[in-house]
Amino acid sequence: MPLLRSHAAETERLRDLAPAVDAALRAGGFYTLTAPRKFGGREAGVRTIIEVYSELGRGCGSSAWVGKIHCGAAHMASLFCDEARQDVWGEDGSAVVSASLNGSASNTAHAVPGGFTISGEWRYASGVHQAQWLVCKLAVEQEGSGEQDLRLALIPASEVSIVNTWDMAGMEGTGSDSFTVRDLFVPAHRTLPLASAMDDSLRSRDDLESVYRASVPSMLGLSVAGPVIGMARGALEHVMSMLAQGRPVTGSTYTNAIDFPSVQLAVADVASLIDTAELHAYRAADDIEAASLRGDHLDVAARARIRMDTGVVMLRCREAVERLLDLGGTSAFARSNALQRYWRDVSTATRHALVSPSLNREIYGRALLGITEQHVPIV
């Protein structure tokens, strides 16, 4: 964590992981925690992801986010057949996988003998610069039917062109650029029906390790809690360090700002908000992992509550950092003050489509009221 913290400004300036950070995360196996053990991974579940990337997020939100994305992508790659997994990790157990499911409307995919040919652009591929393999979503045209066969595909990163499109106010260092391919052949064994990847009830129970029986949408959304909780804790630690140095965070007339009652109350509130976020995250993680170990399929009510828990994490961490900004005053927004980076990163990360608090509240409310039709599927 200290390494990430010391390189956080450099990572942000580069709009990609600082080389020293990338090297340390790669050497430590942080990118492949969720890969199968027989290919050199750890088969880590979502609780481990939350714990690990919460710790790293204390130092640098962008770095923790990239590592978390690689873990999510490695989990998705592990859903493929062993022949595809051998392609990815057979010769190099440290191979890194990234992913983008945000394809352009102009993308094309056509069935050909032995596989598919694809062309197009995929956006927001966090960690694409570190990856050797990429997971992307295809919409294969079905001749004569007008319908599309939705699939996931594994493609070598060496076959894509990276387009510099990432220019955001927060999470600047994630290198979430786009990648393009043109007329790339993807063998059939490196594709997977999207429905079976996203709906664990459609997967075979016999040919996958238990950790990969988990609900992928639930796991991917909840895993965002790791970096976000870590960023909130890092922000609190930064302010506590300022207070310990006797710096006048609030501009009060007290000799030391920690003697100011409103500072004491705010610190207590912030710590409790972060603890609340963590407790919700761990409850949801335990539900996901218990079901996968039992071989059970989470029902709608359980998945809806996990979505709600995920949204609560985002709101509580966002609220915690906002309270810290009140302590910091205008000086908190100085470029030299790390607090403004935590604020921008948390504000951006907690608005990711997978973790939208408003949408998750709607889904949970509908489930509680027994409204079965879904505007937004949660499988």
Q: Give the mean model confidence (pLDDT) for residues 316-338.
A: 92
**Do the domain assignments include residue 289?**
yes
- Do 168 and 226 belong to one domain? no
**Do the domain assignments include residue 132?**
yes
Per-residue model confidence (pLDDT) at position 255: 62
φ, ψ for residue 360, nearest 5 deg: -65, -35
- Do 26 and 125 belong to one domain? yes
Query: To which H or E segment does residue 25 belong?
Result: helix 19-27
**Do the domain assignments include residue 85?**
yes
* Contact present, 102 and 63 (Cβ < 8 Å): no
Per-residue model confidence (pLDDT) at position 151: 96
Judged against a pLDDT cut of 70, whether residue 285 lies above it is answered with yes
Computed over every residue of the chain, the mean pLDDT equals 92
The CA-atom distances, in angstroms, between 219 and each of 35, 175, 216 are 15, 23, 5
Confidence of residue 202 (pLDDT cuts 50, 70, 90): confident
Q: CA-CA distance, 172 to 341, in Å (whole number)?
A: 9
Confidence of residue 196 (pLDDT cuts 50, 70, 90): confident
Query: To which H or E segment does residue 157 belong?
Result: none
Per-residue model confidence (pLDDT) at position 250: 47
Inter-axis angle of helices 300-328 and 225-244, nearest 10: 20
Q: How much is the pTM?
A: 0.94
From 36, 34, 17, select the one nearest 25 (Cα to Cα).
Answer: 17
Judged against a pLDDT cut of 50, whether residue 379 lies above it is answered with no
Q: Give the mean model confidence (pLDDT) for residues 41-53.
A: 97
Q: Give the mean model confidence (pLDDT) for residues 70-81.
A: 97
**Do the domain assignments include residue 280?**
yes
φ, ψ for residue 124, nearest 5 deg: 55, 45
**More confident position, 113 or 374:** 113
* Cβ atoms < 10 Å from Cβ of 254: 12
Confidence of residue 375 (pLDDT cuts 50, 70, 90): low
- Do 189 and 270 belong to one domain? no
* Contact present, 262 and 186 (Cβ < 8 Å): no
- Do 177 and 32 belong to one domain? yes
- Do 169 and 230 belong to one domain? no
Query: How many folded domains does the chain comprise?
Result: 2
Q: CA-CA distance, 167 to 175, in Å (whole number)?
A: 9
- Do 299 and 260 belong to one domain? yes
Q: Give the mean model confidence (pLDDT) for residues 293-300.
A: 88
The CATH number linked to 337 is 1.20.140.10
Q: Give the mean model confidence (pLDDT) for residues 135-161.
A: 91
Domain's final residue, options 193, 227, 253: 193
Give me the domain span that covers residue 346: 214-368
The CATH number linked to 31 is 2.40.110.10
- Do 182 and 297 belong to one domain? no
**Do the domain assignments include residue 373?**
no
- Do 70 and 165 belong to one domain? yes
**Which residue reads 């490196």 in tokens?**
190
Sign, Cα dihedral of 307, 313, 316, 322: negative
Confidence of residue 52 (pLDDT cuts 50, 70, 90): very high
- Do 57 and 111 belong to one domain? yes
Buried b (16+ CB within 10 A) or exposed e, 91-109: eebebbbbbbbebeeebbb
Q: Give the mean model confidence (pLDDT) for residues 64-82.
A: 97
**Amino acid found at 97:** V
Q: CA-CA distance, 27 to 293, in Å (whole number)?
A: 29
Per-residue model confidence (pLDDT) at position 373: 58
- Do 186 and 221 belong to one domain? no
Q: CA-CA distance, 209 to 43, in Å (whole number)?
A: 8
Judged against a pLDDT cut of 70, whether residue 377 lies above it is answered with no
Judged against a pLDDT cut of 80, whether residue 279 lies above it is answered with yes
Q: CA-CA distance, 52 to 58, in Å (whole number)?
A: 10
From 150, 157, 190, select the one nearest 31 (Cα to Cα).
Answer: 157
Per-residue model confidence (pLDDT) at position 205: 54
Question: What is the distance of C-alpha 356 from the center of its chain?
Answer: 13
- Do 352 and 276 belong to one domain? yes
φ, ψ for residue 74, nearest 5 deg: -65, -35
**Do the domain assignments include residue 353?**
yes
Q: Is 109 helix (H, G, I), strand (E, B) or coil?
A: strand
Per-residue model confidence (pLDDT) at position 35: 98
100-141: per-residue pLDDT in tens?
A: 999 888 899 999 999 999 999 999 999 999 999 999 999 998
Which segment of 71-75, 93-97, 204-208, 237-241 scores lowest on mean pLDDT? 204-208
Confidence of residue 204 (pLDDT cuts 50, 70, 90): low
- Do 304 and 178 belong to one domain? no
Residue positions counted in the chain: 379
Q: Give the mean model confidence (pLDDT) for residues 161-171.
A: 97
* Contact present, 121 and 104 (Cβ < 8 Å): yes
* Contact present, 94 and 26 (Cβ < 8 Å): yes
212-253: per-residue pLDDT in tens?
A: 999 999 999 999 999 999 999 999 999 999 888 876 544 455
**Do the domain assignments include residue 203?**
no
Domain's final residue, options 132, 159, 193: 193
Domain's final residue, options 124, 159, 193: 193
**Do the domain assignments include residue 208?**
no
Which segment of 103-117, 138-152, 180-194, 353-367 scores lowest on mean pLDDT? 138-152
